[in-house]
Structure 1
């Protein structure tokens, strides 16, 4: 907190000492040592600043270097070290913060969200600028019937509703859907919430569009969750990619002929992005990729396939963004 996030030393030290004292007899005995060690750390800012950014673990770094090269990997590591700003998505008009080219607004990290103007009125919600692009790529229209699969925590559901779509938000977690309901109520928006496994859910009628933000490794969010490289080791990736493929196939089956699907993952791994797109095109003849046409997207972000590859080292002058892969797919008009 002190060295990476710039927290005031006295507050961080006092909080850590209080936690030690509250953790039982052993913690109370260690409180003096905690105080002494952290006070030494508090004056080590210059040495901390000279350290190289922490390297990604080999299972992740190898894929990143293979896909984009050593310089990109170092840039991503530097972005992870720098941390993430606070991004907001406006419902319609006014929104605090710096307006970004893609439509989000940005404020410094540590900003107290509930104290910002427009919070109580529901004029905006917290959502990373990269995450907000999935709905902008989908481009929902008023009156369209749309499903948001794996919807929690709900930022994309709010975007879809704000665009005037008739939204069904599906998520397997009832507690997480309760948070979606709270945010919808605060923002004066509505959606039909369904607690179900997305693979088991089917609508009463074919859909105009589906947004699938699929379960993934979440490796695109390390700048927000620096513990991820320490608690994950790449195990389970094959199972995740199989699940993503099944979800893509199921989502396509829910669409009317000519309907569209946006597939998104907050992952840096091509196995969960570019490779999933290529495999889906192989499995579904007649499926077409529609390159993103969203203000603020730079040409270099669009892949040769027509997907959108976002990385933490993009926009370095603005503070970066989360890692994401986003692709818009159109079902052919003669597919049922």
Structure 2
């Protein structure tokens, strides 16, 4: 039966709507560390105007200014002292119940801590992890990620071009002081910037009016004509004239040759003029056809050019 999950839906919706999370509002932490030593310098936590810093420590939830070690400096700035060992979750909240992303800070009782950011790391950035003793000294250590050793012993471990796959638990371990507490590294997407809108706004605010593009050249002698359509009729006319001239010259030459032959044969054989003219034309017909074909090929080549 599926009636039980359906009956729970209204209750789940009420819980989600009663305390919505607003990721656009973030908690500022200075210094930005997840692990600190007991007795170390206080940490400042601040929110946007109209938001209040709150924390959950154990089973108790406090508002900034309601505890001795959780002091309010102004409406949105709070200072956390670390005199005892504890782990607390901090976030920003409004009077209507809207919440920001939370941040976890642990006061370590061990002799070594892992320097890891309390705030989420932006995707694509570089991150350097260090292992620090209570004396303030950075020591060589082994760095671990989700139970996997990240390389040989070193004073620091750098993660270049942080991606979502780098999200998880990290800690460090030294030969003399043991291992640090485990801290969870969170990765978030970089903030989106409207580059196109900013460029458009700069163009809109420009005091100089935009000029229309110049018209394309139409002259056939232009070094970069836009299209060959305007020049094709001229080239076609020139090719026709050239072919006609060649055809006329060759026809005149053939007729002259035929007349010379007719005069020679008339004096020798005394054949009728019509018969001799027909024989001459038949003999030179193939030459006329070849010249006509050459003229046609020349015309086609001129047109294609």
Normalising to structure 2: TM-score of the pair? 0.24
Q: Which has the higher contact order (CA 8 A, sep 6+)?
A: 1
Task: State TM-score, norm by structure 1.
Answer: 0.23
The structure whose residues are more often strand, as a share, is: 2
Larger radius of gyration: 2
Higher helix content, 1 or 2: 1
